[in-house]
Structure 1
Amino acid sequence: MFGVSFGGGQQRPSNFLHTNHDQSIVDEVRNTEVVKAIARRVDFLLACYFPNLHSLYTNVLQDLCKHDGNLKPNWEGCCFAAASLNFQNAVTFSHRDYLNLLFGQCAVYSAGSFNYKKGGHLILWDLKLILEFPPGCIIFFPSAMIRHSNTAIQDSETRHSLTFFSASGLFRWRHNNFMSDKDFVAGASRDERATWDEHRRNLWQTGLKLLRSM
């Protein structure tokens, strides 16, 4: 994984850390024109189908990087804060990405050489859907909300994936005026805490509004 994240023990938002060797590989892949084009395409599609959500992602990432000069986004023109790259024949078991924004979207780009009729399907367990996922396609879905996995391919085939996501902790940090929930609650007045609690209770309604395409 590479990019900006917050959660899993971090004290504040930061870029994922790698060894010098791994970082050189990440930089090489991230800076290829093909990958940059995919990132721009993902951003464009999110803006088309979920314009309100795209605005939220864009504004939060820009605010975070402006507030902390140590934060480095992966690409210009891409609102997702982080990405994960899987080479060869990666297969995931059924799971939810609990650290991502609950009502947000993750984007998955499929690549490689495989028969998508026989393998590499995306399974959305809660929706009882099995989707063909051909190379060169991009799928958006709320990975924190829907249990998902993918099927294996043949031993002679290859399948790669590039996943774009933003951790929910980044949105909470920004909403708390650049501090953690713990620090905000510790210093909040009674009125501030009441407003904060009400925001949390109504967050599902906020999510529904952001997911509207028009």
Structure 2
Amino acid sequence: MRHFKWDGKTCQAIFDSEGNLCALLIPGPVDSEWEHQVINPATSGIAIAAELLDFNTKNVKHRRGDFAAVAMGISHGGGQTRPSVLHQTKRNRPILDTLLSSRPLRRLAGHIDTVVQAWAPRLHGYYSGLLNGLEEDDPQLKRPIPGSAFAACTINFGPKTETLPHRDYGNLSWGWCTVTALGNFNHELGGQLTAWDLNCMFDLPPGSTIALQSALIHHSNISIAEGETRYSFAQYTAGSLFRWVDGGFKPTSATKQKEVEQGRWEKGLAMLSKMGELSITSKSDAPNVLSNSNT
């Protein structure tokens, strides 16, 4: 197992054996106020919401570990006849809406979206096109954070988010899930994200993000010390939403589904950025984040 000691300050790309960009380590922008104006208040907002929310058994006992977690946004599958917005209780809905509409969390999501678009433009375009189509077809379907290309998000309220090895098999198989670590913990001693199929363990400092193929790669994170806190903010899109749109915004027969699935994997791989083709240029809202650093 290789321990990748990342300082959370420079963007790092991880390619598979065929030269496909399969993961990306995303720092915050080079901004002296970023931690003060975004990371710290986003962390405080999650901690405050955790005290106010009414968690049920499913929220605190699940296959990813024993910690509080709530999913929000657009979903499809699990017996649903069509895409819908994930249900929240009358008590929890205003608390979660306030958290997702907060400026720090929206700035964080916007920064991640900018970096993903720069490094994986074809994949980002596929995600963005899906949401545009869903929202046009059904105005009741709204992405959890405006401007983000992801249909759903999960906030892990911890307060000690220590995940078991798992795959997020409901997500788009070749797509990305972004996970942002937040909290107060020593990232050199704990909280590292382990990508078992890549045989790598990555330091993930508070405020930094990893984008990875969470449906394909077994991943988990190391425990943290007593007295420390670790939260995380994950964004993703269910693979079944893409099948719904590709099927013409309606349930499809087994025959039609087979037609839709033919060549799907090859088309998906073609969306991934390739080693050598990336020419990342700086952007005004993230000036030094997008410098190409291949691993």
TM-score w.r.t. the length of structure 1 is 0.91
Deviation at 1:199, TM superposition (A): 4.8
Counterparts of 1:133 and 1:110, CA distance in 2:
7
Amino acid at match of 2:179: V
| SS at structure 1 position matched to 2:131 | helix
Unaligned regions of 5+ residues in structure 2, if any? Answer: 1-70, 278-295
In structure 2, the partner of 1:111 is 182
Alignment of 1:185 with 2:246, yes or no, is no
Alignment of 1:43 with 2:125, yes or no, is no
In structure 2, the partner of 1:76 is 146
Unaligned regions of 5+ residues in structure 1, if any? Answer: none
| SS at structure 2 position matched to 1:59 | helix
Counterparts of 1:65 and 1:202, CA distance in 2:
26
In structure 2, the partner of 1:154 is 225
Counterparts of 2:248 and 2:126, CA distance in 1:
15
How is 1:184-203 mapped onto 2 (pairs within 5 angstroms)?
A: 184-185=252-253, 193=256, 197=258, 199-203=260-264
Amino acid at match of 2:263: N
Counterparts of 2:147 and 2:104, CA distance in 1:
14
Counterparts of 2:81 and 2:263, CA distance in 1:
26
Deviation at 1:28, TM superposition (A): 1.4
Higher helix proportion: 1
| SS at structure 2 position matched to 1:26 | helix
Alignment of 1:141 with 2:212, yes or no, is yes
In structure 2, the partner of 1:210 is 271
Q: CA RMSD in A?
A: 1.4
Deviation at 1:23, TM superposition (A): 0.9
Alignment of 1:3 with 2:73, yes or no, is yes
Amino acid at match of 2:183: G
Counterparts of 2:269 and 2:129, CA distance in 1:
18
TM-score w.r.t. the length of structure 2 is 0.67
Counterparts of 2:155 and 2:136, CA distance in 1:
26
| SS at structure 2 position matched to 1:7 | coil
Among 195, 198, 206, the alignment partner of 1:124 is 195
In structure 1, the partner of 2:93 is 23
Amino acid at match of 1:126: D
In structure 2, the partner of 1:57 is 127
Q: Identity over aligned residues, as a percent?
A: 37
Deviation at 1:198, TM superposition (A): 5.2
Deviation at 1:155, TM superposition (A): 1.6
Counterparts of 2:241 and 2:201, CA distance in 1:
31
Deviation at 1:18, TM superposition (A): 0.8
Counterparts of 1:89 and 1:49, CA distance in 2:
31
Deviation at 1:38, TM superposition (A): 0.9
Deviation at 1:68, TM superposition (A): 0.5
Deviation at 1:69, TM superposition (A): 1.3
Amino acid at match of 1:147: H
